[in-house]
Amino acid sequence: MNIEFTFRNLDATEQVKEYALKRLSKIDRYVSRPIACQVTFVSDNSDQRVEIGLSVPGKKLFVKESSGDIMKSVDGAVDKMVSRIVKFKETRYSHI
């Protein structure tokens, strides 16, 4: 999976990238052929937001999560993405 990181108003640290990569590996269990993944980290005043865009065959999925801590935002966004993938797969394969 090709993962692209973007940082807005935030310093790009290796610790945040490594943590996000570790958490995003959870998605590989649900999607067999992910095309690309864009992860955007945004800092607004005291709010830390993470946006994840995932391209899978047939659809582009997008989630965002914000909280006071960037690590909590990553966790929440990945959990939302997993539930979005499960829902997408259920609707896609229920018609077969």
Concatenating the DSSP letter of every residue in 8-51 gives: ESS---HHHHHHHHHHHTTGGGT-SS--EEEEEEEEETTEEEEE
Cα 44 to chain center, whole Å?
19
According to the model, what pLDDT value does residue 34 have? 79
For residues 82 and 26, the answer to whether their CB atoms sit within 8 Å is yes
Res 2 pLDDT > 90: no
On whether the pTM is more than 0.85, the answer is: yes
Q: What is the pLDDT of residues 25-78, one digit of tens each?
A: 888 888 888 789 999 999 988 899 999 999 988 889 999 999 999 999 999 999
With a cut of 80, say whether residue 96 has pLDDT above it. no
Q: Which domains does the chain have, with CATH numbers?
A: 2-93 (3.30.160.100)
Q: What is the pLDDT of residue 45?
A: 83
Q: Tokens 């993944």 correspond to what residue?
A: 37
